Structure 1
Amino acid sequence: MGIRPNSAKRTQNENVPPSSGSSRVLNVKSVVSRVSRTSRTLRDVQIRKRSESGVQTTKHIVEQAKRRQTKNKIRFTVKSMPNKIKDVEMADGTSVQQPTVTVPIHLPQELMRPSEFKAVTPAMIAAVDNTYEDTNVQYFRDGLLVIEKELMQSLSSVKIDNLKTKLPKELNVVVNDATVILPSHILAIFGKEPAPGSTAPRQVTLYPVHSLVLIAHCAHLPPPPPMLPPPEHVNGEQTLQLPVWTICLPSPQTYPALSLYLYTRNVQRLMRSVLPMAAPEDLRGVQGRTREFGQHLGQTYPAAVIVRHTFLIHGLWQNMCALGIFDRDLWDALDAIWNTVLVALSVATGNPSMAIAPYQPIDEGYESEEEDSEDVNAVPTSEEGSSLSTLSKAMESADAVSYGPETSIEPIKPITRTPAASEPKSPAAT
């Protein structure tokens, strides 16, 4: 595996399912051969059947998208956050504070799901590492989840030096832990380009990643640069060189929250990273819970704080569309928290009776975990907190959202421009 320095130390169930035990099957070679070619385990057969039956036709998905598009927008009137108080030395020793500004904000009732479904294929994974050419995609994802703690430990142990020059094709990083699973790439995320005439450099954020984790979940991602030969494993701190993988995202500041979900598939952690407080665990399971939680948020936080988190959730949605993530649990969670912040904003702005459609899970035929799978949505323990804080660092330091006289969040396509030849292209544009 390209993301390991020592291929002999692979986890046994990472890409090779347990033996089907053909010696115990009494002379049914044809059946064994057929099952082996299909999935090699009964679990894979069930996963494949569920996946094939769950993926609906393009026509049906387009109809669902059109139905969602007819939803009315909601208009909120929000007081902007006042500027910081500036102490001015005056004769009377008083301070001056800028007045607040009232602005309207238009939000859609729902965030539309992509109208066309695109599945991650074994060929996409094999393009990164041909070891997994015939591996079932869902089985591969489950294998990554088994080693989730090792992968997260790997990310938290990497230190990237700040760059003051142009971005190179390869970077030296320091790994301060004797981790077995090393990152494969440095992901360089570009945001929107500066305004015309601006001399400010284009912002780029660097993250260590395991390319197989992203490729396994993101159908729109282009293949990353070839991985470099893994270094010899040594104890303690070591320096290694990783290739730089550049992409352009609509919302770079929400990538840490999305990345955390792709590694852990923990919906509860994701919602906690984009909401002002932790959401109840039954937010999606009990009818009316999103309204109750939204009312609580609206009574607890001012409208300006809720607007900030509304824009974070919108940015998360943009990244999901751009990367091509078709995970049913993730999309259902997005619908739930979007409905929650709409209710919260109606309460915070003094309109608790505003007509907001209740949250209802909508089956778009996207992939989902088995109902009897391990509970990955549990609240993390204190031991897991370090990994969460590592990937959520950008979220904690995000600046407050600024908005003009008339701000409107539209169900727009995530990518609206064509980058220059020297700039990274968006995943959705490739």
Structure 2
Amino acid sequence: MIRALRARNFSKRPTENTPPVKPAPKSVRRTRTRKAKKNITAAKSDAEQAKKKAQKTAQPVRLNVVFYGNANGGADVEMQELPSTSQHPAIVPVTLPRALNQPPVSEPSEEAIAASTGPSYCGQPAAFVRDNLESSGPRSLRTLCSVVTQVDSAVLPKELDIVVNDPAATDYPTHMLAVYAPVPKKPENAPATWVPPKTDVKMYPVHSLFMAAHCAKLGPFPPSPTAFESSPASNEPRSITLPVRPLCLPSPSTFPYLLHYFYLRREEVLFRAFFPCEFSTEFVENCTSEEEIRSLATHIGRTFNPSVILKHAKVIHGVWQNACALGAFDDALWMAIDSAYEVIINALAIGTGNPRAVYVAKSPSPPMQA
């Protein structure tokens, strides 16, 4: 995982007689799987659209979760900070949205992609660019993970010196993202001496093209000395200076999960953060299957404390918030968010002994068996 660099002073089964066929490489199998997911039938597509339309008008899911420690006076918990733990249990009413709805789809502008591609850009659409970046994503991500830097200033710098320690690196990061949360509003009854808390800023090295191709709501990145450069691999660390771009996000703590997905485009990257346990290959390949969702939700609901499950719901919610804020509309990304959230809210309903809650909120569909 990319390490956040924290600023110091910032607060078919085969037919008979058919010879065996050599299995395709994993990368090819993944590509075929993704294409199969995209080429769904019109009937299935219509069913999915109808399901999403129904979810938009669904009632919130209301459950009672046992916490240990301060229960916020019994107030509803709506994806806010969870109570701290101690030895004193308390039952807290929790309200969750029935579904995390996707905003209207849009694609990154040609201007933004051109700024990160350079003279080689010939008007290719963002989806084409994303598909072409997929082969280089893992290599580029390893380069990012090798970056080290240090921020000593109490003021956010415009440029930052970094060291790339990846000896096989050829495409260096182009920018440093300074990710932070919105400044909280002043409470209505706050005293005159109230001051907002210090802003905690974390630095992430990125390749601007990966961000530009995935994020429709990001404007063009400023010029960078490494933007269109491809250097030969070197056994020595390389020091470079990168421009810093501030980025305000609703959930800074979950940004690394989304960033990893941009580079790898593998649902497993998100599922590892979304679930408190391992998941089957069958679930990854058929994550929209009601049977697979029911199976995993039942396992999680029976195995983990509801307060643990709720923390993972908060992670999914954070990634969803960031995806909306950035304008990320990759099909597999939203498939992962939708299916994972369906698993978690059902698991939470099972874990709290109220498996009907999710379906009561949605429709008169039969309840999930706990």
TM-score strictly above 0.5:
yes
Residue 326 of structure 1, aligned match among 324, 329, 338: 329
2:172 aligned partner: 182
Query: Partners in 1 of 2:277 and 2:320 — Cα distance?
Result: 19
CA distance in 2, matches of 1:198, 1:275: 37
Within 5 Å, give how 1:205-220 maps onto structure 2: 205-220=202-217
**What is the Cα deviation at residue 255 of structure 1?**
0.7
Counterpart position of 2:261: 261
State which of 54, 79, 87 in structure 1 corresponds to 2:66.
79
Using the size of structure 1 for normalisation, the TM-score is 0.62
Q: Deviations over 1:379-403 (max 9, x none)?
A: xxxxxxxxxxxxxxxxxxxxxxxxx
Cα deviations across residues 313-332 of structure 1 (Å, max 9, x unaligned)? 11111111111111221112
Deviation of residue 221 (structure 1)? 0.8
Amino acid at match of 1:214: M
Report the CA distance between 1:343 and its aligned residue.
1.1
> How many angstroms apart in 1 are the aligned matches of 2:203 and 2:212?
18
Q: Which letter does structure 2 place at the counterpart of 1:180? A: T
Give the Cα–Cα distance (whole angstroms) in 2 for the partners of residues 71 and 202 of structure 1. Answer: 36
Flag the 1:82–1:211 CA change in 2: closer, same or farther, 3 A: same
Q: Is the 8 A contact 1:291 1:358 kept in 2?
A: no
1:6-63 deviations in whole A, cap 9, x for unaligned? Answer: xxxxxxxxxxxxxxxxxxxxxxxxxxxxxxxxxxxxxxxxx9xx99xx9xxxxxx999
Give me the identity figure in percent.
34
What letter is aligned with 2:303?
A: T
- Which residue in 1 is equivalent to 2:159? 170
Q: Could you tell me which runs of 5 or more consecutive residues in structure 1 were left unpaired when the two chains were aligned.
A: 1-46, 55-60, 84-96, 360-430
Pick from 192, 195, 200: which aligns with 1:198? 195
**Cα distance in 2 between the residues matched to 1:328 and 1:269:** 15
Aligned to 2:245: 245
CA distance in 2, matches of 1:358, 1:151: 43
* 1:235 CA drift (Å): 3.6
With over 3 angstroms needed to count, the CA separation of the structure-2 counterparts of 1:126 and 1:239, relative to structure 1, is: same
The superposition leaves residues 197-242 of structure 1 with CA deviations (integer Å, 9 ceiling, x where unpaired) of 2353111111000010010011111112211256976541121100
Residue of structure 2 in register with 1:346 after alignment: 349
Letter in 2 for 1:335: D
Which amino acid is 1:80 matched to? F
1:88-127 map, 5 Å: 98-114=87-103, 116-127=104-115
List alignment gaps of at least 5 residues for structure 2: 1-34, 43-47, 71-85, 187-193, 363-370
- Partners of 1:326 and 1:188 lie apart in 2 by 22
| 1:148 matched to 2:151 | no
Q: Check if 1:69 corresponds to 2:56.
A: yes
The one-letter code sitting in structure 2 at the alignment partner of 1:272 is: R
Aligned residue in 1 for 2:309: 306
Q: Alpha-carbon deviation of 1:122?
A: 3.4
* Partner Cα separation in structure 2 for residue 298 and residue 66 of structure 1: 27
CA, structure 1 residues 138+195, in 2 after alignment: closer, same or farther (shift >3 Å)? closer
- The answer as to whether partners of 1:154 and 1:182 remain within 8 angstroms in 2 is yes
Structure 2: which amino acid aligns with 1:345?
Answer: L
* 1:342–1:356 contact (8 Å) kept in structure 2: no
Matched position secondary structure for 1:78: strand
Query: Aligned with 2:106: secondary structure?
Result: coil
| Residues 61-119 of structure 1: CA deviation (Å, up to 9, x unaligned) | 99987643211111010112337xxxxxxxxxxxxx652221111112111110x2212
TM-score (norm 2): 0.71
Matched residue of 1:241: which SS?
A: strand
One-letter amino acid of the counterpart of residue 143, structure 2? S
Aligned residue in 2 for 1:271:
271
Segments of 4+ moved more than 6 angstroms: 61-65
CA contact (8 A) 2:257 2:270 kept: yes
Provide the rounded CA distance (Å) in 2 between the counterparts of 1:357 and 1:222.
42
Shift of residue 195, structure 1, vs aligned partner: 5.2
Give the aligned CA root-mean-square deviation in angstroms.
2.9
Aligned counterpart, 1:224: 221
Q: Which one-letter code corresponds to 2:63 in the other structure?
A: F
1:353 positional shift: 3.8
Tell me the CA shift for residue 245 of structure 1: 1.1
In the aligned structure 1, how far is the partner of 2:360 from the partner of 2:274? 21
Number of residue pairs matched by the alignment: 290
Aligned equivalent of 1:377? none
Query: Matches of 1:101 and 1:239 in 2, distance apart?
Result: 53
Counterpart of 1:356, as a letter, is Y
Residue 296 of structure 1 aligns with an amino acid whose one-letter code is: H
- SS of 1:263's equivalent in the other structure is helix
CA positional deviation for 1:357:
7.7
Offset from partner CA, 1:240-298 (integer Å, 9 cap, x none): 10000111111111111111111000001211122111332333153321122111101
8 A Cα contact 1:225 1:244, kept in partner: no
| Contact preservation (8 Å) 1:271, 1:337 | yes
